[in-house]
Amino acid sequence: MLDPITFFVSQFRDLLPEKPEPLRSFLPRPYRNAAVRFSGSSIHAFEERRALVEEAGLNVFSFPARKIAGCDLLTDSGTTTMTLEQWAAMVMGDESYGSNEGYFEVKEQIPITFGPEWEQRDELRENFFIFHQGRSAEHNFFNLFAGELRKSLPSDIKGLSNELPPDLKTRIESRIKGMRRPYFIIPSNSHFDTTEGNIEDSRLIPLNLPSPEHLEKNRDFPFRGNIDLSALETLLDTVGERVPLVYLTITNNTGGGQPVSMENIRRVRELTDKHDIPLFFDACRFAENAWFIQQNEPGYEDMPIPKIVYEMFHHVDGFHISFKKDGLVNIGGGMAFKDDGRFTQKYPDFWMKMIDRQILTEGHPTYGGLAGRDLKALVEGLRLVTSQEYLDYRISQVKRFGAKLESYDIPIVRPTGGHAVYIDLDRFFAGTETDDEDLKGIAFTALMLVAGHRLVELGLYAFGKLKDGKEIPPNPRVNFIRASVPRLAYEDQDLFSVAEAVRVLNDYKDRIPAVEVVYGRDLFLRHFKSRFRFKL
Ligand code: F0G
């Protein structure tokens, strides 16, 4: 017979699931609030929000954040609630122009977080570059890289191979128009929109090759973020000389915040090895990706997260990252090249050009456009982000939010990703009279703002294009509403209130009006800038 205390301990232990389960919320948060911010506006102010939404041209980016009484799920980027350790470190920020204390600490932390292979070996050759956010790293990198490619490779490489499957060929050719030759293709599981924009801006061709599972909407795939290995193999076998770099976005944001398996990473490495091509990560949500590998990939269940991260990063030659996600900070980005990686071997002087770019666009390379205090906060963020307790809670919260939506019959991408829940609009509107031209995704997010919550359309409008007066949906077709969950910011109750508002839209989806575009339909990156109105 157990003594009563031991008995109760075992009963309490049984309350806790071995793995986080979506519908069991008694697993307490591994933190408590150390400061809170009142939203400053009332959830009851529906009429005020309606007027503001209309004033903002139904564009969620233009809606004043202070008027969001509920959850602001526009993005998980830069919206992290920082820990006391981070705030304390910020107070100790060293605001010197050159070689501030935070710089040395970040340099020390990079190989601790990403693995010893990322330590700078050569005293002179910088291997890590700070930028003020992810896209400035992308912009500078791709611009420089494009220049480098045009110099180093012959300009007369032959036309696209007839061995390419017709679908791939058409997709590449549609992008070639207007490009200065020679042209180069940068494939990925899916590039994020700024990455894609920056690649195009550098007159290179971004090519998304999401795995076939990505498009199968009604089944659970643990690694829906994978790249399509056979499409990649065909591409490399047929036009490999046009592919100077392969990218994997971890997690795959465009495809639903979905993870990429270690197996997929390893196989891509094998293919790129075979063709002598460098492999890079867009590593924004690397820790969340590692958590999914630990939870769902055979052989990794007992491996600590930091070790999984090391293994993931062992396979790549470089990465760019927005620290506004898994750096757990409000601003910051970076780019790294592995000292003995294939990229550094192929382009041994590239690092010097990166430094020049930093100086021209960001400031001295030892602060890269950030304040010294931002670097201090980043070091603390990188220390925390790979901890098991943080990730368990973080991702199980997103799961609970998804499960709540599903309990209301809202079609979401399954399984839920690491940072967001994606509502599948095609399934949501199935059975109603809805045309792509109605842009009901925009109406959906505008109505959610009236309800008090901010979500974003990542679908026909964000990724589609206007051509000859007609909307051309993205290919492959994606049509989602994204509800991103900021890190350490909201409690389940807040997210459940979002689910309840979505439920109302679901119950009355026939009454969701179409919208018309009043400005910006043909602009580049149009969803940030356009204005709409309800067709009432
Ligand atoms: N890559 C990915 C996968 C991203 O999700 C983002 C940003 C970037 C690059 C660019 O980084 O914002 O620091 O310049 N994603 C945010 C989002 C904006 O809402 O998903 P950044």
What CA–CA distance (Å, rounded) separates 502 from 453?
10
Per-residue pLDDT at 215 exceeds 80 = no
Per-residue pLDDT at 376 exceeds 60 = yes
What CA–CA distance (Å, rounded) separates 94 from 295?
39
CA of residue 325 relative to chain centroid, distance? 8
Per-residue pLDDT at 156 exceeds 60 = no
CA 77 to ligand 1: nearest atom:
16
What pLDDT is attached to residue 531?
98
| 77 Cα: distance to centroid of ligand 1 (angstroms) | 7
Per-residue pLDDT at 255 exceeds 60 = no
| Domain 4-69+388-534 CATH class label | alpha beta
* CB-ligand 1 contact for 134 (6 Å cutoff): yes
Pairing status of strand 515-519 against strand 531-534:
antiparallel
* CB-ligand 1 contact for 374 (6 Å cutoff): no
Per-residue pLDDT at 332 exceeds 70 = yes
* CB-ligand 1 contact for 196 (6 Å cutoff): no
pLDDT one-digit tens code per residue, 257-287: 899 999 999 999 999 999 999 999 999 999 9
* CB-ligand 1 contact for 133 (6 Å cutoff): yes
Residue of 258, 325, 398 to test ligand 1 pocket, by largest number of atoms within 8 Å of CB: 325
Measured by CA distance, the residue closest to atom 16 of ligand 1 is 77
pLDDT one-digit tens code per residue, 135-146: 999 999 999 999
| 99 Cα: distance to centroid of ligand 1 (angstroms) | 27
What pLDDT is attached to residue 253?
80
What pLDDT is attached to residue 401?
95
What pLDDT is attached to residue 273?
98
Per-residue pLDDT at 453 exceeds 60 = yes
Residue of 201, 282, 284, 527 to test ligand 1 pocket, by largest number of atoms within 8 Å of CB: 284
Average pLDDT over residues 454-467: 93
| 137 Cα: distance to centroid of ligand 1 (angstroms) | 11
* CB-ligand 1 contact for 253 (6 Å cutoff): yes
What pLDDT is attached to residue 7?
92
CA 74 to ligand 1: nearest atom:
19
User: DSSP letters along 131-189, please?
Assistant: ESSHHHHHHHHHHHHHHHHHHHS-TTPPPPPTTS-HHHHHHHHHHHTTPPSS--EEEES
Average pLDDT over residues 147-176: 76
What CA–CA distance (Å, rounded) separates 98 from 91?
19
Token readout for 350 is 């590239």
What pLDDT is attached to residue 165?
86
Residue 418, CA distances (Å) to 256, 257, 258 in order: 9, 6, 7
Are 91 and 375 spatial neighbours (Cβ–Cβ below 8 Å)? Answer: no
Are 194 and 138 spatial neighbours (Cβ–Cβ below 8 Å)? Answer: yes
Average pLDDT over residues 300-313: 98
Q: Give the DSSP letter of residue 412.
A: B
Mean pLDDT, the chain, rounded, equals 92
* CB-ligand 1 contact for 324 (6 Å cutoff): yes
pLDDT one-digit tens code per residue, 65-108: 999 999 999 999 999 999 999 999 999 999 999 999 999 999 99
Domain boundaries, the chain: 4-69+388-534, 87-117+127-150+164-384
Same fold for the pair 4-69+388-534 and 87-117+127-150+164-384? no
How many CB atoms neighbour CB 99 within 10 A? Answer: 13
pLDDT one-digit tens code per residue, 404-420: 999 999 999 888 999 99
pLDDT one-digit tens code per residue, 381-408: 999 999 999 999 999 999 999 999 999 9
What CA–CA distance (Å, rounded) separates 106 from 112?
10
CATH of 87-117+127-150+164-384, one of 2.40.50.700, 3.60.150.10, 3.40.640.10, 3.20.20.140: 3.40.640.10
Residue 38, CA distances (Å) to 47, 142, 223, 335, 448 in order: 21, 41, 38, 36, 20
Q: Which residues are CB-neighbours of 430 under 8 A, at least 6 positions away? A: none
What CA–CA distance (Å, rounded) separates 425 from 462?
13
What pLDDT is attached to residue 493?
93
* CB-ligand 1 contact for 226 (6 Å cutoff): no
| 76 Cα: distance to centroid of ligand 1 (angstroms) | 9
* CB-ligand 1 contact for 333 (6 Å cutoff): yes
What pLDDT is attached to residue 287?
98
CA 249 to ligand 1: nearest atom:
3
What pLDDT is attached to residue 254?
66
What CA–CA distance (Å, rounded) separates 535 from 514?
6
What pLDDT is attached to residue 49?
98
Average pLDDT over residues 300-324: 98
What CA–CA distance (Å, rounded) separates 403 from 421?
10
Sorting pLDDT into bands at 50, 70 and 90, what band is 159? low
* CB-ligand 1 contact for 77 (6 Å cutoff): yes
How many CB atoms neighbour CB 274 within 10 A? Answer: 12
pLDDT one-digit tens code per residue, 333-366: 999 999 999 999 999 999 999 999 999 999 999 9
Measured by CA distance, the residue closest to atom 8 of ligand 1 is 134
Measured by CA distance, the residue closest to atom 21 of ligand 1 is 134
Per-residue pLDDT at 454 exceeds 60 = yes
What CA–CA distance (Å, rounded) separates 309 from 124?
27
Are 146 and 183 spatial neighbours (Cβ–Cβ below 8 Å)? Answer: no
Are 282 and 86 spatial neighbours (Cβ–Cβ below 8 Å)? Answer: no
| 464 Cα: distance to centroid of ligand 1 (angstroms) | 19
| 247 Cα: distance to centroid of ligand 1 (angstroms) | 15
**Has this prediction a pTM greater than 0.85?**
yes
Sorting pLDDT into bands at 50, 70 and 90, what band is 26? low
* CB-ligand 1 contact for 282 (6 Å cutoff): yes
